Structure 1
Amino acid sequence: MDAIYQKLVKINDDYTASTLGRQILDPNSKYVGGVIDETGIARANHMSTPSIMACWASALVNPDSRYYHDEKLLTAFEMAADFILNRQHADGTVSLGSTNYNSPPDTAFVVGGVTQFYQLLEAHDWAAVKPAAAKLKLFLERTIPAMLTGGCHTPNHRWVITAALALLYEIFPMPELVARADEWLAEGMDITEDGEWTERSNGIYNAVSDIALYHTAKLFNRPDLLDGVRRNLNMMVYLIHPSGEVVTDYSGRQDFGETYDMATYFLIYRLMAAHDRNPLFAAMSDYAGTFIRKSEAVNNHALLGMLLYPETAIEDLERAELPERYTLMLNEKHPMEKHLKQIDRVGHHMKIQHSSMHVAFGAPIVRIRDREQSVTIMPLAPSFFSLRHGKVRLLGMKLSTSFSPGIIKFNHLTAAESGYKLNIVMEKGYNGPIPQPFLPEAAQQGQVSPWYLLPHQHRPMTHLQTHEIQAEIVQGDSEWQIRIHSDAREDVFTQLSFILGDEGQVSGEDLADAGDGKYFLKSGGMRYEAEGDAIEISSGAYEHFLPALREDQHPIGCRYVHVNLVTPFDRTFTIRLR
């Protein structure tokens, strides 16, 4: 029997046991039947009670589970079905709870999973489970109006909604469901040739878009939609540190800088490995499966997927060897600058409700891996360089300046003969008076003239100033050299920060402890060590006394070593691997 499958069954059974004890049984509670989550209440979102129901359903119909046909669990499941029906709003939606109320996209996340375990139960030859399955079908039917009319916030929400429409169509074959999906799909795929989705979210939303588009493609007979899924899955092979930690250094979403592994990619790699008979995807599915420790969101539930789609078994498929040594630049040929120049003609003036424009989409990313060493070089991110060396985590290097002010996000990255170059030319000017023809009537008549009613877009720019910073990164034998230099402008306060994992220890002769995990490397070198691996960084400077520059923040949970510089400067920092 598949070892990963056995592991999933055990995880599922253990989670079933622990969640049964959290179900609300008080008949007077509005949350009766729901399962208390980390908020202290029960919710009907895709990470809460519906996700737990996916576990319970997978246990009820699986002969390998110790809860197979368990009457007590079936009673609990039916109560949970009543709960999601009771928490469903009159318009058919559910609320996320932490935000997003009466939310079509969050309802689509739930639909993406409930449709699957409904079909699992409906196909199972056990009369006792049919009343609960009927309640699930009613819940799903009630969501249809919202799925046919509802909007989204983020790029990936579109594909979550199309997946919900496709999965609903399999149960309720209404042509309106196809038509609504076509409206979303007509917007086109937001993915680069090298496989990066708009949100650049390797920890969370890549897998969300991938699994959603897989269902959409299969159920609406749109095999072209799998092209983007393949590209992203191929890209992710190169965005994993040796420990299995996913590269999140440049994410445009909430996984930015947080620790994630490959667990959520297990099912989509397995489904695509079976579909394409792809040995690399099969190997990646095995690898991702080693990180599964808990149940995931309802729409991407590993055991549910294995039970519902037995035809996707890949035990007989050969496995490719996963790469441990490579150097590549992703999105090097993506026409990012060409696209950015087209923004003005679109007419949205960079305003979108409840979302982001994600203008860093398609930025080049350098990934270098040499067994236990892993390096990422990136523009348009708060950090421009990160390194893993065994147990050592240099989470990032960032530059802050008083010119803008704030964190510098280099906007160009190019490969040079000896390494890589990043640069940015910052601009800052002053706003002149609004020309007379554009002034509002109230201002011209001497009435009260609120600042926010003035047409500021017509102010001419005066005294425009520029400031250029460049970084050059060169790999040597067991070391990295990073040269940072400014233009000739004088007296701009600058701070270079080395961001280190808090699990290691720092030391140095001229390393001043600033409290709360922050240090100033005033001169000379320093050492950072974690579990026997170490890096040495040199050399420091303390040319100004500012602890932090305006509009720069240093979140807790890391160690920060700061080097304070004043322009003009031209300094080379060396990171030696020990």
Structure 2
Amino acid sequence: MDAIYHHLVKINDDYTTSTLPLQILDPSSKYDGGIRDETGIARASHMSSPSIMACWVSALVNEDSRYYHDETLLAALDKAAQFMLNRQHPDGTVSLGSTNYNSPPDTGFVVGGVTQMYQLLEQQNWAAVEPAQAKLKLFLERTIPAMLTGGCHTPNHRWVITAALALLFDIFPMPQLVARANEWLAEGMDITEDGEWTERSNGIYNAVSDIALYHTARLFNRPELLEGVRRNLNMMMYLVHPSGEVVTDYSGRQDFGQTYDMATYFLIYRLMAAHDRNPLFAAMSDYAGTFIRKAEGVNNNALLGLLLYLDTAIRDLERAELPEQYTLMINEKHPIDEHLQRMERVGHQMKIQHSSMHVAFGAPIVRIRDHDVSVTMMPLAPSFFSLRHGKVRLLGIKLSTSFSPGIIKFDRLTAEAGSYKLSTIMEKGYNGPIPREHLPDTRNEAGGSPWYLLPHQHRPMTHLQTHEIQAEMTAGESEWQIRIHSDAREDVFTQLTFILGDEGQVSGADLEDAGEGKYFLKSGAMKYEVEGEAIEISSGAYEHLLPVLREDQHPAGCQYVHVNLVTPFDYTCKIRLL
């Protein structure tokens, strides 16, 4: 077996050693047999006890593990399986715990892994494990009613549930499972030609959708479903910084602006490399495997997958060179404007329960990589530019204004002759009185006319104002020049913010420390340095005194350097790589 496999075995064994003492062994407790997680209790959700159980199963059946056929671990697994039965709700679901109670999609995540555990145990000729195996099968059988009737919240939940239906069908060949899966699949794949899923979640949910659709395609003989998986895996090769950090600058989910690596992509790259005999996917799988440090969710456990799906061996497959030097615009041809114009005709009025419309789906993204330099530019996101230079992390540049007020999300990105242009036209008007024919009878009732009972949608707009902002980014020799200019409207307070990692040091002759990691670059240049690598940002401006503009927020864990501007302005800054 390859080096990554032995790496995974060691991680799995070490994790098994550290988690065994966390099992609750108290028959009087409702959590008896579960394994405590970071909340201090045991949960039946996919990142909690089932995730640990997947590691235990992988250790018990693997001759290369020091826990192979270990009696103590086997007893612990049996207790954990009983815990899963005890915590399963009467309707067959489990709860996420942090939110999502009696949740079909979270049950789908768990089914995605427990089916694999059950099938791996079923392959063993080992009578001692059969009681635990039977409990896992009973748990799965109890989930079927919920999987046949349950709904979802988010786009990826559809494919998680569909995969759960497929994996259950492999064990319980009921035609109803296929029929329900087909209802979800009839909605079509929510992916652009360049490989971006709706949620634009490179850190989390891309890999979730990819692995789910792989199982669905495999078990329902639907090879066309793999096309979206291929597109996304091809796209992700260009969304990794030199350090292995994934680009999350524009995510529509909770990985936005957070640090993630490629670890969760290991198994799906391995599965697809074997399926397609793809040297690039094989190289990406190897690369992703180097980042695995812990167990992932139960539905995407790397070692469990390798042990169960033996046809993933790709030692004989050549590896291609991964791209380290490129300029690429993702989604350049996606018809986002056309789709947004059509949205009004659909009739949902931008309302969906417990979810989001994700209207930034398909927006263009510019990715530039030159070995240890990595640049991202994007519209429809709070930050429009980010840069990595070795260990230096310019996490983002954002622009806020008092016009709307708040952070500007540029509408449009275009490329021309080596420059990239962003633009937006903001609108803000005033609401007139509701025409009398639209006024409700409630205004005549005792107690007056409550504001929230008025049909505000009928108010005419008056005094509509517009404000246009443009940004132009141009690369030079070891520097980027960013020009930002406004229209002629006067006295709009504006703040340009450079978001920097908290690991570096900032310095500058006219850099004012405003406390809590915030600074004002009043004039001249500043330097940001991390372990001998640095960038220089110039020049500053301090045209107003506001420390922060309304509706703007600065999350903790970063450093912020502000440049204060007042319209009209035509401001140019330079970011020089040192």
Q: Same fold (TM over 0.5)?
A: yes
5 Å-filtered alignment, 1:25-424, equals 25-424=25-424
Instruction: Give the deviation of 1:343 after TM superposition.
Output: 1.1
5 Å-filtered alignment, 1:559-574, equals 559-574=559-574
Give the Cα separation in 2 of the matches to 1:3 and 1:241: 24
Q: Which amino acid aligns with 2:529?
A: E
> Residue 4 of structure 1 aligns with which residue?
4
> Residue 526 of structure 1 aligns with which residue?
526
Aligned-partner SS, 1:396 = strand
Q: Is the 8 A contact 2:423 2:469 kept in 1?
A: yes
Give the Cα separation in 1 of the matches to 2:418 and 2:491: 31
Distance 1:553 1:393, change over 3 A: same
Aligned-partner SS, 1:484 = strand
Give the Cα separation in 1 of the matches to 2:345 and 2:527: 51
Give the Cα separation in 1 of the matches to 2:513 and 2:73: 56
Q: Which amino acid aligns with 1:386?
A: S
> Residue 508 of structure 1 aligns with which residue?
508
Q: Deviations over 1:79-103 (max 9, x none)?
A: 0000000000000000000000000
Q: Deviations over 1:299-336 (max 9, x none)?
A: 00000000000111100000000011000000000000
Instruction: Give the deviation of 1:26 after TM superposition.
Output: 1.0
Instruction: Give the deviation of 1:442 after TM superposition.
Output: 2.3
> Residue 16 of structure 2 aligns with which residue?
16
Instruction: Give the deviation of 1:27 after TM superposition.
Output: 1.0
Give the Cα separation in 1 of the matches to 2:190 and 2:320: 29
Give the Cα separation in 2 of the matches to 1:502 and 1:60: 42
Give the Cα separation in 2 of the matches to 1:556 and 1:518: 10
Q: Deviations over 1:327-355 (max 9, x none)?
A: 00000000000000011111110000000
Give the Cα separation in 1 of the matches to 2:449 and 2:91: 44
Instruction: Give the deviation of 1:443 after TM superposition.
Output: 2.0
Give the Cα separation in 2 of the matches to 1:279 and 1:452: 60
Give the Cα separation in 1 of the matches to 2:13 and 2:23: 16
Give the Cα separation in 1 of the matches to 2:447 and 2:462: 27
Instruction: Give the deviation of 1:196 after TM superposition.
Output: 0.2
Give the Cα separation in 1 of the matches to 2:355 and 2:225: 24
Give the Cα separation in 2 of the matches to 1:3 and 1:344: 53
Instruction: Give the deviation of 1:445 after TM superposition.
Output: 6.6
Aligned-partner SS, 1:118 = helix
Q: Is the 8 A contact 2:483 2:572 kept in 1?
A: yes
Aligned-partner SS, 1:21 = helix
Q: Deviations over 1:340-380 (max 9, x none)?
A: 00111111100000000000000000000000000000000
Give the Cα separation in 1 of the matches to 2:561 and 2:17: 46
Q: Deviations over 1:234-292 (max 9, x none)?
A: 00000000000000000000000000000000000000000000000000000000000
Q: Which amino acid aligns with 1:30?
A: K
Give the Cα separation in 2 of the matches to 1:382 and 1:44: 35
Aligned-partner SS, 2:7 = helix
Give the Cα separation in 1 of the matches to 2:2 and 2:264: 18
Give the Cα separation in 1 of the matches to 2:493 and 2:9: 57
Give the Cα separation in 2 of the matches to 1:171 and 1:402: 59
Give the Cα separation in 1 of the matches to 2:418 and 2:206: 33
Aligned-partner SS, 1:534 = strand
Runs of 4+ residues over 3 Å off in structure 1: 444-447
User: Among the aligned pairs, what percent are the same residue?
Assistant: 83
> Residue 467 of structure 2 aligns with which residue?
467
Q: Is the 8 A contact 2:442 2:453 kept in 1?
A: no
Aligned length: 578
Aligned-partner SS, 1:350 = coil
Give the Cα separation in 2 of the matches to 1:422 and 1:446: 53
**Aligned pair 1:430/2:421, yes or no?**
no
> Residue 483 of structure 1 aligns with which residue?
483
Q: Which runs of 5+ in 2 are unaligned?
A: none
Give the Cα separation in 1 of the matches to 2:229 and 2:208: 10
> Residue 451 of structure 1 aligns with which residue?
451
Give the Cα separation in 2 of the matches to 1:311 and 1:377: 39
Aligned-partner SS, 1:342 = helix
Aligned-partner SS, 1:382 = coil
CA RMSD of aligned residues (A): 0.7
Q: Is the 8 A contact 2:544 2:565 kept in 1?
A: yes
> Residue 496 of structure 1 aligns with which residue?
496
Instruction: Give the deviation of 1:441 after TM superposition.
Output: 1.1
Q: Which runs of 5+ in 1 are unaligned?
A: none
Give the Cα separation in 2 of the matches to 1:418 and 1:302: 42
Q: Which amino acid aligns with 2:180?
A: R
Q: Which amino acid aligns with 2:303?
A: L
Give the Cα separation in 1 of the matches to 2:445 and 2:228: 58
Q: Deviations over 1:206-259 (max 9, x none)?
A: 000000000000000000000000000000000000000000000000000000
Give the Cα separation in 1 of the matches to 2:187 and 2:309: 30
Aligned-partner SS, 1:482 = strand
Give the Cα separation in 2 of the matches to 1:442 and 1:194: 52
Q: Which amino acid aligns with 2:494?
A: T
Out of 103-112 and 122-131, give the one that drifted further: 122-131
Q: Is the 8 A contact 2:400 2:552 kept in 1?
A: yes
Give the Cα separation in 2 of the matches to 1:466 and 1:491: 14
> Residue 551 of structure 1 aligns with which residue?
551
Aligned-partner SS, 1:29 = coil
Distance 1:445 1:152, change over 3 A: closer
Q: Which amino acid aligns with 1:379?
A: P
Aligned-partner SS, 2:22 = coil
Q: Deviations over 1:2-61 (max 9, x none)?
A: 100000000000100110000000111110000000000000000000011100000111
Instruction: Give the deviation of 1:444 after TM superposition.
Output: 5.3
Give the Cα separation in 2 of the matches to 1:244 and 1:49: 29
Q: Deviations over 1:491-539 (max 9, x none)?
A: 0000000000010000000000000000000011100000111100100
Q: Which amino acid aligns with 2:432?
A: G
> Residue 539 of structure 2 aligns with which residue?
539
Q: Is the 8 A contact 2:211 2:300 kept in 1?
A: yes
Instruction: Give the deviation of 1:434 after TM superposition.
Output: 0.3
Q: Deviations over 1:392-436 (max 9, x none)?
A: 100000000000000000010000223100000000000000001
Aligned-partner SS, 1:268 = helix
Q: Which amino acid aligns with 1:185?
A: L
Aligned-partner SS, 2:498 = strand
Aligned-partner SS, 1:366 = strand
Give the Cα separation in 1 of the matches to 2:133 and 2:156: 29
Q: Which amino acid aligns with 2:6?
A: Q
Q: Which amino acid aligns with 1:161?
A: I
